[in-house]
Structures are given as structure tokens and as C-alpha cells.
Amino acid sequence: MKFVCVECSKVFAEFRYTCTCNGMLDIFQDFSGLDAEELKRLFQSRLSDRLSPYASGVWRYKELIFPDVEDSAIVTKYEGNTGLYRSDAVASYAGTRSVWLKAQSENPSGSFKDNGMTVAVTHGRSLGYDRFTCTSTGNTSSSLAMYASLAGRKSYVFVPNKNISLNKVLQTLAYGANIFSIEGTYDHGIKFLEENSEKLGLYICNSINPFRIEGQKSIVYELAQVMSWKLPDWIFVPGGALSNVSALGKGLSDLYALGLIDKLPRVALVQAEGASPFYKMVAEGKTALEAEPNPYTRASALNIGDPPSWRKAQRTLHETNGVAVSVTDEEILNAKAVIDASGIGCEPASAATVAGLRKLVSQQIVDKDETVACILTGNMLKDTDALREYHLEDNKPFSNKIIPSSLTYDDIFAVIK
């Protein structure tokens, strides 16, 4: 395993978070000697495992993620193994013939972060760390708090003091983390950790840590396996810190290089208009990201103005002939209401995918006959204020209302009939 800088290509033999030039690092693994058909058989055989780490939808692919770690050192909650659903209602809303929804929201802590966190915490513990840290809008922190406690270790997390979901903060608290509420955003927290974590003896579990990205690659491995190694024409992901799109790109490139798939899907990265520095860079034809000092979107998981992984995200779009698109909060919340009412459900950030798909179909960038998968990143109960605001306070196009208790039984009969 080597660590290669995505900015200057410098190679490191030992683990570190970033390069001496401050660039993000990629883990490079030598896959020579691995045979695609043997891997398919191995991954298939592990589907019946219920108790060993290979029952996890991440560690099932251990050979491609963290081959050297001892099985007994793995910290797992059998993450991954999430559902893939089709909904006519969502497809019709998006304007496509069909759409697959990959519900990473079904992970143990309720978000896609678990796919990466199991690997980061396993790696940190194998190095002997007792204290783990992250900065977070709430999903990364609840995931870290869960795995750190599971591993019998401590977690210290930094969360912005506004514009994040209380549900996520409470989940983090209840899992046992030490929480610091900070003035500023995720961007300020990352800067603090980059400068201070070593002095404090903290192992960073944000996605600047390349082991997080290795774990998150499993999302597309699992999608490919369940689809018999034939991916759809498009994969849509939301983008805030950009770890999701970075991991998707790396996973796709592994699958293609290994011969596990013979065609790369196109990747569509969807940002929320109020926090869309990456979209702006692409739309304006620029080659370097300009940070947004005051990002704001109601999809609080995407409230990030200076995403560390932008260079990796740029590579993903380049390698997959991908596109970037931005959508308004109103578009996100309407798409979310449709996904929720389909019985699948998600948090606001996840719904950016379907909102983005609808936009690209209307712009004829995606054809209605093309096949599409949208990655839903977080559970609908991650942000219950968003549900209350949409359904009970504001009169939104897809809102559902509670029938008042003042109805007589005759009224109730009339409603149901």
C-alpha cells in the first residue's frame, strides 16, 4: 500500500493524512494477481456469511480495501448491505423510465459515512490510537461516535453551532462522543484538526483520511455486485465535502481496472445552490476551486464551502465524462417529499440526487430511457425538523397533513371511503 498525492504525485510509504504540499492523498494498492472471476466468486460466497467481518457490505471486499488488516482487528457493525429500490413515483417525478435508489441511509448509524468509518476506525485502532476525532455537520460525527464506542475508544467531535440537525448532534452525544460546538462551519473545524490533531494525539476520521475513501468505495462495489456487475448508464451523488463522489470515482476505476465491469457509468454530482463551489468551478470553466466563505443550504449535510476532496471529485468527473449540477433548496425538499412518500425516505441532502436528475432530464442531458442509480446518503429521521417544516408548517406542493382529532367517526368514514 502506498500513499500518492493527487496534486504533486509524491509517493509516501507510511500513512499520513495529506502531502507536504497539502494535497490530498490517494491509497494505491497493487491489484496484480487478482482475477476478476475469482473475486466475483469470493464476494458471492461471502453473501451467506452472517457472523464474521465478511458479513459486512464493506469487508466483503476486504482484498480491494484494506487487505493487510487482521480479521480480528476489524471494527464492524455489518455496515453496507443496503437496499436497492425502484420506485415508479420517483421515476415519474424525475421524468425517466426507471430509477434505482441505493439506500445508504439503511446503514447502522443511518448514513453512508459508516462505509468509510468502519475502515478508518479499524485503521486508527490498528496504529494504537485511543482517541478519534472529526469535524462534522452530524453524519460523520454520529458514525464516528458509534464506531469509537464499539471499539472501546473515545471520540472528540467538532460541530458547527448553527445550521445543522439537532437529531444528528443528539445521536452523536448518545453514542458517547465528547462534543465541541464551534463558531463557523465544517471548513473551520477541518482547519483546526489539520493544525492540531497531532499535538492532541487524535486520529482524524474525516475524509481527508484516505482510509475513509477506501471504505466508501464499497458503495459502488456493492451496487455493481447486486446488479450482476453491470452498472447503470448514470450514477447520481450529492456533493458537500465531496468524499462520496471521490470514493465513487476510485471504486469505479478499481472495478474497471480489475475487469469486474466493462463499461464506466457517467457520474452526476449534485450540489445545493447555496453551497456549490465545485459546481461553480465546473460551470465557469475554471480549473481550481474558489472556496465559498458563507455556505448555506437547508440540506445541512451539504453546508460546506471549501471541500477538501475537490481535486479527487474533479478526477471522477474527468474519468467518467461526468457532469456537475446545482439545485435549489426548494427543488431538494420537493424531491425529498416524493422519495419519502415512495416508502424509501431520505434526509434532505440525499434528495439532491433526484432533484438533479429531474433537472438534467429536463435539459435533455440525461435521456429518459437511460438507466440511473441515485445514492441516498442519509436516513429521513436524521432531520425531523425538515419533516415538520415541510408537512406541518409550510404549505408545500407534496406535503401531507394530519387529519384533526376533532373529526367525528362519520367524518372519518367519509374520508376513508
Ligand X SMILES: N[C@@H](CCOP(=O)(O)O)C(=O)O
Site of interaction with ligand X (CB under 6 A): 113, 136-140, 186, 206-207, 240-241, 243, 301
Query: Residue 343 in contact with residue 277, Cβ under 8 Å?
Result: no
Quote the least distance from Cβ 68 to ligand X, whole Å: 24
How many angstroms separate the CA atoms of 49 and 209, rounded? 29
For ligand X, the closer of residues 82 and 139 by Cβ is: 139
From 156, 231, 162, 166, select the one nearest 201 (Cα to Cα): 156
For ligand X, the closer of residues 96 and 350 by Cβ is: 350
Strand pairing category for 131-135 and 154-160: parallel
Quote the least distance from Cβ 143 to ligand X, whole Å: 8
Quote the least distance from Cβ 205 to ligand X, whole Å: 7
For ligand X, the closer of residues 260 and 269 by Cβ is: 269
How many angstroms separate the CA atoms of 320 and 341, rounded? 32
Give the list of residues 6+ apart from residue 355 with CB closer than 8 angstroms, or none: 270, 327, 331, 332, 334, 335
Beta partners for residue 24, in sequence order: 18
Quote the least distance from Cβ 300 to ligand X, whole Å: 8
Quote the least distance from Cβ 158 to ligand X, whole Å: 10
From 40, 373, 30, 46, select the one nearest 233 (Cα to Cα): 373
For ligand X, the closer of residues 261 and 301 by Cβ is: 301
Quote the least distance from Cβ 140 to ligand X, whole Å: 4
For ligand X, the closer of residues 240 and 345 by Cβ is: 240
285 is in an annotated binding site: no
For ligand X, the closer of residues 261 and 270 by Cβ is: 270
The values of phi and psi at residue 259, to 5°, are 80, 20
240 is in an annotated binding site: yes
For ligand X, the closer of residues 306 and 370 by Cβ is: 306
Question: Which cell is 266 given?
Answer: 457517467
243 is in an annotated binding site: yes
242 is in an annotated binding site: yes
For ligand X, the closer of residues 56 and 136 by Cβ is: 136
25-28: strand order across its sheet: 11-12, 2-5, 25-28
Quote the least distance from Cβ 160 to ligand X, whole Å: 9
Quote the least distance from Cβ 267 to ligand X, whole Å: 17
- Residue 417 CA, chain-centre distance (Å), reads 43
Query: Residue 153 in contact with residue 125, Cβ under 8 Å?
Result: yes
Query: Residue 280 in contact with residue 337, Cβ under 8 Å?
Result: no
107 is in an annotated binding site: no
* Alpha-carbon dihedral angle through residues 318, 320, 321, 327, given to the nearest 10 degrees: -90
Distances, alpha carbon 358 to alpha carbons 95, 287, 331, 352, in Å:
6, 27, 9, 10
Binding site members: 139, 240-244, 377
Binding site members for pyridoxal 5'-phosphate: 139, 240-244, 377
